[in-house]
Amino acid sequence: MSGFDTYFLMKESDVIAYIQEKLDFFEKDASLECREIGDGNLNYVFRVRDCHSDSSIIVKQAGTHLRISEEMSLTTDRGRIEASILKLQGELCPGLVPKVYLYDEVMCAMIMEDMIGHTMMRTGLIHHETYPQFADQITTFLVRSLLLTTDIVMDHQERKALVQEFTNPELCDITENLVFGEPILNYNKRNDVFPPVAAFVEQEIYQDEVLKAEVARLKFDFMNHAQSLLHGDLHTGSVFINQEHTFVFDPEFAFFGPMGYDIGNVIANLFFAWANGNATIADTSQKTQFCGWCMCTIMEIIDLFQEKFCQLYDEAVTEPLAVSEDFKAKYLHDILADTAGYAGTECIRRIVGMAHNKDITTINDMDKRANAEKIILTFAKDLILHREDFQTAGDYYTSMEKAIRAIEPENTLIGPEKTILDYDTVALDDYQHALVIIDQTKLPSKIEILSLTKQKDIWDAIYLLKVRGAPAIGVAAAIGAYLAAREIKVSSYDDFYNQFKAACDYLNSSRPTAVNLSWALHRMENVVIANKKLPISNIVTALHDEALAIREEDITVCYSIGKYGLSLVKPGDGLLTHCNAGQLATVKYGTATAPMYLGQEKGYHFKVYCDETRPLLQGARLTSFELASAGLDVTVLCDNMSAALMRQGKINAVFVGCDRVAANGDTANKIGTSMAALAAKRYHVPFYVCAPTSTIDMSIPDGDAIVIEQRKPEEVTTMWYEKPMVADGIKVFNPAFDVTDHDLITGIVTEFGIAYPPYEESLQEIFLKKQIRDTVQKMLKDKI
């Protein structure tokens, strides 16, 4: 009669006899030894080894209670679930999951491949080992194990049966309490808070009602969103690893839930490793290497997951309604948002709850451990409260950097704090198929990045000045036109062209004065016309490339304007500018500010004066903000004060941007520009307009032909005030621009040189240079 016909919790001596009875794995003359090596909170893990051959095998038995608490009893059926899921994951992710040789329903024990030559990843990380293949291999595991078990890939009836098979109520209940409920509310009084951070936890966790509400939402999504078959407890203690290979095991918490839960757990545990390295490594070079690897791996996982997910999605999805770029983008967006949220809950529960993480508890220095825990909790709150914003690797880096700086401002592992100039003013996000801009209406108090996918949102962003400045508007419009083209689902060219033209006309109606808007849209339309014989998908690709070309050209143009403008001034000069024709109005450098930025690089030490620029205060909010961020000496003044400075001899030159230049040199720019030009003329101060050729409209003879946009009266009466500054019933005159007459302009600085009066002739010469350049470029392109 077998000694294993009735369940009991085995000891090391029992396991040797168990193996010999159940499996013909070792030679008959094997000299076996057994050691319990379990590191988790639930199960007992035994390694059985033949001392002669050194071959080995693993026996894993499910106990009836948590190892960390006799108060919490468990069903031993979790062993069956784990064995089944390991077999399934082995099919989905070959080579990344250990083989299961046998599952014994009586003893609730599994006999499995020994991951010999591998070490538990958490142990390796605590010893500050790095693993170059981990990001690639774990993302392969995540994408395949998660996406291939969704209802957009699997047969719906087969999947329903699988959901029923892997229903895991007891272990889900543990997660719902230990991960979501107790760490935030401590309702069972089992939280174990490190005393030096108790006050921090009280204020930042227990008293934060908004945080509680967001964690509640995450908990109920976890409970009700059966998206994929999860590993369910994917921390670094569930990974065995070496320099070449990764094994994922221990999926006893497996059930169907939101994908982001598994991904978020990986992210959080890598940040725990970073915190350990930051606190315990004394050697600066070693600390930089290890902690840098941790942060880079987090970012690499985000990037690789998106890349592999999109590729497998296109190959494997079978649900007809899901075969859509829009659906895929939203599906991925939600996964990434969930990832951030669940990374945050994992961070909090490992610091505040009863099941701590050895990366943190092995930090012996109390002050350093306290800082580590505060950094992790700060990061966690950002992940949870702003999870919709975590869509890129850069979002994680920014958040980690911010959390570190908040607790350890002098930490040498993080670089200098980012300034407004480190962000893209306007860009295309190819992953999310979105126009990405800085919301300039929020500056300077808040840097907020917007990702816009809908045409109405892009139109609003241009009209409401969330993106502004003629060059930036042109780039935004080009990207907007490309995004509109992606949405057109027709088969004939004529239908495509008509819908594309309507989309461009719609965007063009947002702001009538800035010529770059219509110029960029006209370029995009010409791409469609030039490629009319190609398939529509090829036309859309050509539009994508043209939008990016317009963006890159703007950088080159602004740099050239900066070089020509810099030749007009000398070190130490006082320079006046109006409105914002800086980097925030372009892709980089700006137009009017380009000479200032290039001069700063050369040590010119300009003194820059910024008109505040009523009524929207672009000079005060934007220009002074970005120039000061670059280290320039900046002074803000009201629009009616520049003449006083000129009279005192403090202004040596004026540089302004423009929205449209007529053939005779008349220039439309932000309201108030002509007033500054009149004062400059009176006090013999050179007045320069910085104008990319894209803003010069040779089709209109003079400024009288320029349509001036009229803005809402509220911009003058109430926008910046708690109470109205104008009595009810009084009319308001609020043009966005005025026209500066050509005879007030000393020179027009373009990317092809400086035009001087008479402008009818000099601007023609500028365009001749442009034509020659364009012809040569076309010849070279055709030759290639």
Tell me what the pLDDT averaged over the chain comes to: 93
For residue range 430-453, list pLDDT tens digits in order. 988 999 999 999 899 888 889 999
| pLDDT above 70 coverage of the chain, percent | 98
The pLDDT value recorded for residue 165 is 84
pLDDT level of residue 260 (50, 70, 90 thresholds) = very high
pLDDT (0 to 100) of residue 510 = 94
Q: Residue 40 — very low, low, confident or very high, per pLDDT cuts 50/70/90?
A: low
| Interval 262-281 mean pLDDT | 98
Residue 606 · residue 612 · CB < 8 Å: no
Tokens representing 558 are 């602004």
Stated as kind and residue range, the H or E segment containing 665 is: none
Angle at the Cα of 156 (from 153 to 161), degrees rounded to 5? 115
Is it the case that residue 784 has pLDDT exceeding 70?
A: no
pLDDT at residue 67, rounded to an integer:
64
Residue 715: is it exposed, middle or buried by C-beta count within 10 angstroms (0-12/13-18/19+)? middle
Which residues on adjacent β-strands are paired with residue 40?
none
Does 41 have pLDDT greater than 50?
yes
pLDDT value for 547: 97
Res 55: pLDDT: 92
Helix, strand, or coil here: 481?
Answer: helix
More confident residue, 732 or 511: 732
Closest by Cα among 59, 65, 115, 66 to 82: 59
Tokens of 188: 């069972």
Closest CA to 415 of 407, 406, 405: 405
User: Each residue of 406-439: pLDDT tens digit?
Assistant: 999 989 898 777 788 889 999 999 988 999 999 9
Confidence of residue 73 (pLDDT cuts 50, 70, 90): low
One-letter amino acid identity for 362? T
- Res 621 pLDDT > 60: yes
Cα distance between residue 657 and residue 652, in whole Å: 17
The DSSP letter of residue 649 is T
Degrees to nearest 5, angle at CA 198 with 195 and 199: 135
CA 193 to CA 600: how far, in whole Å?
A: 50
DSSP code string of 495-540: HHHHHHHHHHHHHHTT-SS-HHHHHHHHHHHHHHHHTTTS-HHHHH
Prior bond of 735 cis (ω within 30°): no
- 525-574 tens-digit pLDDT: 999 999 999 999 999 999 999 999 999 999 999 999 999 999 999 999 99
301 contact partners, CB below 8 Å, separation of at least 6: 135, 138, 139, 263, 266, 267, 270
At residue 148, the pLDDT reads 97
- In this predicted structure, the answer to whether residue 579 has a pLDDT above a threshold of 60 is yes
Q: For 568-685, list the strands marked E by DSSP.
A: 574-577, 607-611, 633-637, 653-656, 660-661, 667-670
Question: At how many degrees (to 10) do helices 493-508 and 515-530 cross?
Answer: 170
| pLDDT reported for residue 1 | 47
Alpha-carbon span 481 to 122, nearest angstrom? 49
Show Cβ contacts of residue 36 under 8 Å, excluding neighbours closer than 6 positions: 12, 44, 45, 46
Nearest to 748 by CA among 684, 677, 699: 677
Please give the Cα distance from 516 to 668 (Å, whole number): 13
